[in-house]
Amino acid sequence: MDSAGRYAPSPSGDLHVGNLRTALLAWMFARATGRRFRLRVEDLDRARSGSAQRQLADLAALGIAWDGDVVVQSDHAVQYAEALETLRERGLVYECFCTRREIAEAASAPHAAPGAYPGTCRNLDDAERAQRRASGRPPALRLRAGVDAFTVHDVLAGDWTGLVDDLVLVRNDGTVAYNFAVVLDDGEMGIDQVVRGDDLLASSPRQAYLATVLGLTPPTYVHVPLVLGPTGDRLAKRDGAVTLRELVAAGHSAADVLGLIADSLGLPGVRSAAGLLAAFDPAGLPRAPWTFSAPVTHPA
């Protein structure tokens, strides 16, 4: 299978400028390294009617072209179930009855690894599991991890070692957990390059370790700086006109929006995806977050 990069939005609403910037970077990194570029709709958790179609239209409006069909996560229930059963057969899955509050309290205890699941339900015996089932709380399913840390290589951050704990594979409502789904999907799609916001760097060791458990090769990671709003917080809809549709409604073209993103990447004067790719130099990528303020509305 050919190597590929990808962009994988959740269809929970329209993409804002920060999302679009990351999508362009993912597309450029893939194309600049001779990879295919794939799209995946990650709709297991939240999906708004029509959102995925609008997202794809916005990406196309900026000139981002992808290879093959768009992959939809919710179509993969059979693959997820098969992978889960394989892990069960290897003794790598156990039931967890902990509430979020119990996990938070245990994680705040002295000597607890920050952010790590403390393994409360890891070694329950049959009687203890039966007692917890009798309480009526459905269990989540966790991976019985064999390490507590894992090192990944990131093109921008270098080697990065982070926490690995007994991550959730299936939530207690029966929904496949993000970390499990994304690793399986990337493996199925031949994704060997993952470009995304640097707020997700900390989750990469968990995902890379899980990939090795599943017999997959972890991808090359590129975690790019986030886009911030005027207050210095992560860009959000509260910051005004931040989606392509809002900016177009305010009198700005798709080329104008792409030009703003190009400026933020140190490539002034570029107003097309093709031009952006032609001028793209990964070594020159700014390492600091970009603070975005919506441009002045053009008069009608």
Burial bucket for residue 271 (CB in 10 Å: 0-12, 13-18, 19+): middle
Residue 10 marked as a ligand binder: yes
Which tokens sit at 173? 């409502």
Residue 196 marked as a ligand binder: yes
Instruction: Report the distance separating Cα 290 and Cα 30, nearest Å.
Output: 22
Residue 122 marked as a ligand binder: no
Residue 178 marked as a ligand binder: yes
Residue 203 marked as a ligand binder: no
Cβ–Cβ < 8 Å for 95, 121: yes
Instruction: Report the distance separating Cα 263 and Cα 278, nearest Å.
Output: 15
Is the backbone of residue 287 left (phi > 0), alpha (psi -120 to 50) or beta? alpha
CA-closest candidate to residue 69, choices 176, 178, 188: 188
Residue 121 marked as a ligand binder: yes
Residue 42 marked as a ligand binder: yes
What would the DSSP string read from start to end of 224-245?
EPPEE-TTSSBP-GGGSS-BHH
Instruction: Report the distance separating Cα 115 and Cα 108, nearest Å.
Output: 9
What would the DSSP string read from start to end of 20-71?
HHHHHHHHHHHHHTT-EEEEEE--SS---TTHHHHHHHHHHHTT----SPPE
Binding site listing: 6-10, 42, 96, 98, 117, 121, 178, 196, 237
Binding site listing for ATP: 237
Binding site listing for L-glutamate: 6-10, 42, 178, 196
Binding site listing for Zn(2+): 96, 98, 117, 121
